[in-house]
Amino acid sequence: MRFENKKQIIANGKTDEIKKIRKDILEMLSTAIDAVDPYCVVSSQFDKFVLKIDSKKVNLADFSNIYLVAFGKASIGMTQAALDHCEISKGVVITNDITQKIKNPAIDVFYGDHPIPNDDSINGAKAAEKLISQVSENDLLLILISGGGSALLCHPRVSLKDLQETTSYLLKSGANIQEINTIRKHISYVKGGQLIQNAKCQVISFVISDVIGDPLSFIASGPTIGDETKYEHAKNIFEKYNLWEIIPKSVQSVIIQGIAKEIPETPFIHEISKDKVKNMVIANNTLACETLLHHAEKLGYKPSLYSTTLQGEARIVGNQLVDILIEKNKKEEINMLIAGGETTVTVKGSGKGGRNQEMVLASLNNLQKNSIVFASFGTDGIDGMSTAAGAIADSNSLKRAIDKNLNVDVFLADNNSNVFFHEINDLLITGPTGTNVMDVQILIKQ
């Protein structure tokens, strides 16, 4: 099991039945993370000196040099797999995982930050741009993309400070990832297909998806694929969330100039050749959830996979999932519900938490009333601005909280779910998992 506090999580179950359910949930979540392990999913695309792209095969011996650019939370594992299967002439990797290292002199590693970019996010992006500008027609450019890539590969048209401020506003606004990444594309030199727009060689891009529905143009803000959004869309999103008047003037200026066509639009879909640039999703939330489903059946549960495209306000969605399981349990004898996707939190308080922890916190009354165990888990091991991956609770969690004089409504109002679950020792703690396919939820009827 991957969980640092697994003994405590299991021990918090009041009865042997709940203890077993908690143990099974940790086991299933661990299995799901293993299924989307970046090293394994990249390795599976290699067959000796042949690279598999969907139904096609590319012979690596046909190229003079192979260059690599990797960015995202899974970039270290993805890069190591490529290094173990082919000779990389030169590479640039941008990660936020300081616990893992690449020991290869051909690879330059930059340690950016997420979800708010830092100086190394920019330095890494510029190094990647320089490398791509130096490749020749007979070379192969291998690009490895994973969740968090929007913040980690970052060359903005505004100052870092103004970008950080804008990103912070967006993350607290309740905007979804498609909306946030639409804006990111239009204040960037590398997103929305711009990274490889002028690449001279064959480009192959392997993607671990952290966006609902796996739209390549929004994963890591689509640096290797043409864009269908425009500057007008970015401005509309700012206005939708009442942010236009408070964002930095430099960001307003870029958007206004773009609308006036004084700054070029991101390249459209048809402007980037699908023959020259091949993109392939190699792991996603569906793979994680289907792995959960199969493992649950092996453990003797009767599971139902409800959705891998879960969206909406976290505190509302959590209760909806409880209600769905109750209905399915009555009609179909289903005793376990699996879901995946990415919800949002409209931040109004000053507490610490994340969408997974808030989802479980908002459901505590419902869990007590209906005898349900509920875990919500961020597959990257980091939920929101906390160091936890999510939280778990059962029908007795509310009573344990009340015994400690913890008021659910007060903690919800302050978006302080992390402190709440820390107090009752029900945080899910893994540390960075090295991958990211959004979130997964497991609900089991006791």
Go through the domains of the chain in sequence order and give each one's CATH number: 6-36+285-445 (3.40.1480.10), 38-155+190-229+266-283 (3.40.50.10180)
pLDDT band per the 50, 70, 90 thresholds, residue 392 = very high
Q: Copy the structure tokens of residue 410.
A: 């007060």
d(C-alpha 322, C-alpha 332), whole Å: 15
**What pLDDT was estimated at residue 363?**
98
143, 75 contact by CB (below 8 A): no
125 exposure class (CB count in 10 Å sphere: 0-12, 13-18, 19+): buried
Taking alpha carbons only, the member of 441, 444, 442, 408 closest to residue 424 is 408
Average pLDDT over residues 416-435: 96
Do the Cβ atoms of 415 and 353 come closer than 8 Å? yes
Q: How confident is the model at residue 1 (pLDDT cuts 50, 70, 90)?
A: low
Tell me the residue ranges of DSSP E strands in 188-302.
Answer: 202-208, 277-283
Beta-carbon contacts of 168 under 8 Å, excluding residues fewer than 6 positions away, are 116
Question: Please, which pLDDT band fits residue 236 given cuts at 50, 70 and 90?
Answer: very high
pTM of this structure: 0.92
| β-bridge pairing 390-393 and 372-378 | antiparallel
Q: Which residues contact 173 (CB under 8 A, 6 or more apart)?
A: 241, 243, 346
Strand-pairing partners, residue 69, are 92, 143
Give me the mean pLDDT over the 319-335 stretch.
96
- Euclidean distance between the first and the last CA atom of the chain, given in angstroms as a whole number: 22
Q: Is 20 helix (H, G, I), strand (E, B) or coil?
A: helix
DSSP secondary structure code for residue 58 in this structure: E
* DSSP code for 191: T
DSSP H helix total and E strand total for the chain: 17, 15
Rounded CA-CA distance 79/7 in Å is: 33
Helix axes 16-35, 285-298, angle to 10 degrees: 140
Residues 340 and 206: their CA atoms lie apart, in Å, by 22
In this structure, is the dihedral angle defined by the CA atoms of residues 390, 393, 398 and 399, taken in order, positive or negative? Answer: negative
**Residue 99 confidence (pLDDT):** 84
- The predicted pLDDT at position 55 comes to 83
Q: Give the chain's mean pLDDT.
A: 96
Tell me the per-residue pLDDT of 13-63, one tens digit each, with 9 for 90 and over.
999 999 999 999 999 999 999 999 999 999 999 998 899 998 889 999 999
What is the C-alpha to C-alpha distance for residues 345 and 326, in angstroms, rounded to an integer?
A: 25
What digits encode the pLDDT tens for the residues 206-233?
999 999 999 999 999 999 999 999 999 9
Rounded CA-CA distance 290/296 in Å is 10
pLDDT attached to residue 333: 87
Q: Provide the 3-class DSSP secondary structure of residue 309.
A: strand
Cβ atoms of 102 and 76 within 8 Å: the answer is yes
